[in-house]
C-alpha cells in the first residue's frame, strides 16, 4: 500500500505538470502578426506588469552576469537540479544499504 | 517569485535586506550549533538543501499559461525548524542571482524574505498546528509544504504591490494583479510540491526513523507502523 501511495503521488505530480500543456490554448497572433508566447516565466510577466503600472520606472541595477543564451541558462538550471538530485540519490542509496545491513545484523543475532 | 535585478526601488531593496539579515545570521548560528551537537544530522541537512536546489530549478507549466517553480523549503523547515532554511535559501537564491541572472543582488533581501523566511515559518507553524489537530503525518507534511510554497508567492505579490501600487486602485488593486500572475499560477505547483515533500519524507521516515525520533518528529509507534 505504502509503495503504491508514493507511486500515485508521483503520477499526480506528472499529471499536474502535463495537464496545463493540454488545457491552455495558444492564443491567436497579435496585431503585428507575431505569435504570442505561452508558458513564459511568471517572473517575466511580473516584470511586464511593473512596466504597465509605472511606465516611468527605471531598472537601476543590471545583473552582473547574464547567461549568454537560453541554452546556457537551461544548462545551469539543469546543473542545479542535477546537483540536488545527485545528493538526494546518494543519500537514499546509503540509507537503503545501511537499513539492509542493520536488518541482516539483527537477523544474524537472533539466529 | 524572483523579483528581477533592479526591479525594486532602492529603499525597498535596502529595507528587505535589513529585514532578512537577522534571520540569516541567526539561521547560520542555529545550523552550526545543531551540527556540532548532532553531527549525524549533517546528511539530512544536506538532503533538505538538495531538495530546495532541485525544486527551485524546476520550472513547471501551470494552468494560467505561464511557468513557475516550487520552492522546496517546507521539507527542511519541518525537519530542522524555520530558521535553518534562511541560510539555505540564501545560497540557492545567490546561485541563481549570480550565475543565472534570475533574481538579483539588489532584490536578494526581498527574495530571501519570501522564499527562505515566510515560507519556512508558515510550513513550521502549519505542521505543528496540523499535528495538534491529530491529522496524520503525511497530511500534515502536505499542508505545511504546499502552503509554504503558495505563501512565498503571495509574499512576493505583496512586496511588488507595495513597491508598485496601482495609480488608480492603489495597493489592493496592484496586489490583485501581481497575485493573479504569481499566486494563481502557483496553486497546482504548490500541490505538486506538497506531494513531492510527502514522498521524500516517507523515504526519510522509512530509512532514518531513529534520527526523526531524536528530532521529535515521529513517535515510536508511527515508525513501526
Tell me the pLDDT tens digit for each residue of B18-56: 999 999 999 999 999 999 999 989 999 999 999 999 999
Instruction: Give the DSSP letter string of A33-54.
Output: SPPPP-SEEHHHHHHHHHHHH-
A residues 14-33 lying closer than 8 A (beta carbon) to B: 16-17, 19-21, 23-24
* Complex confidence, ipTM: 0.89
Q: Are A80 and B57 inside 8 Å of each other by CB?
A: yes
Domain residue ranges of chain A, discontinuous segments joined by + = 2-26+35-110
Give A 47-76 residues with CB within 8 A of chain B. 47, 49-50, 53-54, 57, 59-67, 73, 76
Q: What is the distance in angstroms between the CA of the first residue and the CA of the last residue of chain A?
A: 30
CA A12 to chain centre: 15
Residues from chain B that touch A17, judged by Cβ atoms under 8 A, are 60-61, 192
Question: Residues B201, B208: contact at Cβ < 8 Å?
Answer: no
Q: List pLDDT tens digits, range B164-207.
A: 999 999 999 999 999 999 999 999 999 999 999 999 999 999 88
- Report CA-CA distances (Å) from B37 to B30, B32, B40, B207: 11, 9, 9, 21
What are the angstrom distances between the C-alpha of B152 and each of A14, A24, A59, B1? 22, 25, 23, 7
| C-beta atoms of A84 and B196 within 8 A | no
Q: How many CB atoms lie within 10 A of CB A81?
A: 17
Q: Which residue of B has its CA nearest to A70?
A: B100
What per-residue confidence (pLDDT) applies to B219? 62
Instruction: Give me the residue label for grid cell 505538470.
Output: A17
A59 Cβ neighbours under 8 A, 6+ residues apart = B4, B5, B6, B7
Compare A13 and B224 and report the one with higher pLDDT.
A13
Between B60-69, B78-87, B158-167, B211-220, the lowest mean confidence (pLDDT) is in B211-220
Q: Structural domain boundaries of chain B? A: 10-224
pLDDT at B124: 97
Q: Pick the residue with more confidence: B100 or B222?
A: B100
Interface residue of B50, B114, B190 to substitute, partner A, most A CBs within 10 Å: B50
Report pLDDT digits (tens) over A38-77: 888 899 899 999 999 999 999 999 888 888 888 999 999 9
Q: Which among B135, B211, B113, B101 has a CA at the least distance from the CA of A69?
A: B101
CATH of region B10-224: 1.10.1760.20
Amino acid at each position: 500500500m505504502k509503495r503504491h501511495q508514493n507511486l500515485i503521488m508521483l503520477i499526480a505530480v506528472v499529471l499536474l505538470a502535463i495537464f496545463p500543456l493540454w488545457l491552455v490554448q495558444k492564443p491567436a497572433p497579435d496585431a503585428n502578426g507575431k505569435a504570442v508566447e505561452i508558458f513564459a516565466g511568471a517572473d517575466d510577466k511580473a516584470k511586464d506588469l511593473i512596466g504597465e503600472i509605472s511606465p516611468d520606472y527605471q531598472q537601476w541595477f543590471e545583473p552582473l552576469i547574464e547567461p549568454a543564451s537560453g541554452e546556457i541558462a537551461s544548462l545551469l538550471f539543469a546543473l542545479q537540479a542535477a546537483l540536488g538530485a545527485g545528493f538526494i540519490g546518494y543519500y537514499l542509496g546509503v540509507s537503503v544499504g545501511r537499513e539492509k545491513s542493520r536488518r541482516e545484523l539483527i537477523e544474524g543475532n537472533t539466529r | 517569485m524572483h523579483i528581477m535585478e533592479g526591479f525594486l526601488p532602492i529603499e525597498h531593496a535596502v529595507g528587505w535586506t535589513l529585514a532578512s539579515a537577522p534571520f540569516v545570521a541567526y539561521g547560520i548560528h542555529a545550523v552550526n550549533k545543531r551540527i556540532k551537537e548532532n553531527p549525524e544530522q549533517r546528511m539530512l541537512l544536506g538532503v533538505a538543501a538538495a531538495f530546495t536546489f532541485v525544486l527551485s530549478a524546476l520550472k513547471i507549466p501551470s494552468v494560467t499559461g505561464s511557468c513557475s517553480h516550487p520552492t522546496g523549503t517546507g521539507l527542511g523547515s519541518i525537519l530542522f525548524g524555520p530558521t535553518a532554511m534562511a541560510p539555505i535559501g540564501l545560497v540557492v537564491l545567490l546561485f541563481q542571482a549570480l550565475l543565472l541572472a534570475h533574481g538579483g543582488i539588489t532584490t536578494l533581501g526581498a527574495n530571501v524574505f519570501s522564499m527562505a523566511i515566510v515560507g519556512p515559518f508558515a510550513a513550521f507553524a502549519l505542521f505543528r498546528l496540523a499535528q495538534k489537530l491529530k491529522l496524520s503525518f503525511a497530511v500534515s507534511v502536505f499542508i505545511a509544504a504546499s502552503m509554504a510554497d503558495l505563501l512565498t508567492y503571495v509574499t512576493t505579490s505583496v512586496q511588488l504591490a507595495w513597491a508598485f501600487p496601482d495609480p488608480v486602485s492603489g495597493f489592493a488593486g496592484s496586489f490583485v494583479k501581481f497575485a493573479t500572475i504569481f499566486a494563481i499560477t502557483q496553486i497546482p505547483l504548490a500541490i505538486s510540491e506538497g506531494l513531492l515533500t510527502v514522498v521524500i519524507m516517507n523515504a526519510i521516515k522509512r530509512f532514518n526513523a531513529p534520527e526523526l525520533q531524536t528530532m521529535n518528529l515521529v513517535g515510536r509507534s508511527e515508525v513501526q507502523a
